[in-house]
Structure 1
Amino acid sequence: MSSVSQLAKRFREVLLDGLWIANTNFKDQLSDVSWKQAITKVGSLNTIAMLTFHIDYYIAGINNVFEGGELEIKDQFSFDLPPVETPEQWNELLNKLWNDAEKFATLLEKMPNSKMNEVFVDEKYGTYLRNIDGMIEHAYYHLGQITLIKKMLTH
């Protein structure tokens, strides 16, 4: 299996269908989160909806680069979730994450392995490989938060 195929598999594992590292994934954890739970604040922690938006914000931004566009995302806007006021809006947010995640993995699979060592947008960001690995690690970090917040809301 090529390195891009392995990266795409690792990415799908944390977002869509894996059990290897955390014995869960975003889709599994979020599948039974209600709209009310998603927007419920636990102390000073981010809401599940906010963390869902946050991880999708970065995935969508990197997808834009993968498709030949500019890196338009900014850290300062990564938590700018519009109000989620209905179950339908929560479902739209989830569907956007699933679609963007699958798109990310599919675009990654189409890249040549040699692309992994190329500069990602600007030298200050490192290589494609560094950014893809970072996205996977970032997703696991927030998956852990979501899992804990969910437990706090349901126990």
Structure 2
Amino acid sequence: MSSTSQLAKRFREVLLDGLWIANTNFKDQLSEVTWEQATTKIGSLNTIAMLTFHIDYYIAGLVNVFEGGDLEIRDQYSFNLPPIDSHEEWENLKSKLWDDAEKFVILLEQMPNSRMNEVFVDEKYGTYLRNIDGMIEHCYYHLGQITLIKKLLKQKESA
């Protein structure tokens, strides 16, 4: 299996359908979350909706680069989630994440292995491999947060 295929498989596992590392994935964790739960603040933690937006923001930014565009994302905007006030808005946010994740996987699978060692946009960002690996690790980091926030919400609801 090529490097890009392996990376695409790892990315798919954390976002869409895997169980290997965390025994869960974003799609599984978000499937039963209501919009009210997604927007409920627990202490100083980000909400589930904010974390969902945050991850999609970065995935969409990398997809844009993979498609030949510029790197337009900025850390300062990565939590600028518009208000979620309905089931439909929450479902739209999740659908955007799934669509962008699928695009990411397809584009990565089509990428030649030789690109993995090329500079990603600018030397200060390192290589494509570094950025793709970083995206996978970033997803697992926030997947863990979402899992814990869901447990805290369940405790709060049953109290």
TM-score using structure 2 length = 0.97
> Per the alignment, in what secondary structure is the counterpart of residue 70 of structure 1?
coil
Q: 2: CA distance between counterparts of 1:53 and 1:25?
A: 16
Is 1:104–2:104 an aligned residue pair? yes
Q: 2: CA distance between counterparts of 1:153 and 1:37?
A: 7
Aligned to 2:44: 44
How far is 1:108 from its partner? 0.2
Amino acid at match of 1:52: T
Superposed, 1:73-112 pairs within 5 Å as 73-112=73-112
Aligned to 1:20: 20
Amino acid at match of 1:41: K
Is 1:2–2:7 an aligned residue pair? no
Aligned to 1:142: 142
Amino acid at match of 2:50: M
- Please tell me the root mean square deviation across aligned C-alpha atoms, in Å: 0.3
Identity of aligned residues (%): 81
Q: Deviations over 1:72-107 (max 9, x none)?
A: 000000000000011100000000000000100000
Q: 2: CA distance between counterparts of 1:60 and 1:3?
A: 21
Q: 2: CA distance between counterparts of 1:87 and 1:39?
A: 11
Q: 1: CA distance between counterparts of 2:28 and 2:59?
A: 18
How far is 1:70 from its partner? 0.1
Amino acid at match of 1:104: F
How far is 1:154 from its partner? 1.1
How far is 1:147 from its partner? 0.2
Q: 2: CA distance between counterparts of 1:35 and 1:69?
A: 32
TM-score using structure 1 length = 1.00
Q: 2: CA distance between counterparts of 1:126 and 1:40?
A: 37
> Per the alignment, in what secondary structure is the counterpart of residue 121 of structure 2?
coil
Q: Deviations over 1:21-54 (max 9, x none)?
A: 0000000000000000000000000000000000
Aligned to 1:131: 131
Amino acid at match of 1:140: Y
> Per the alignment, in what secondary structure is the counterpart of residue 46 of structure 1?
coil
User: Unaligned stretches of 5+ in structure 1?
Assistant: none
Aligned to 1:68: 68
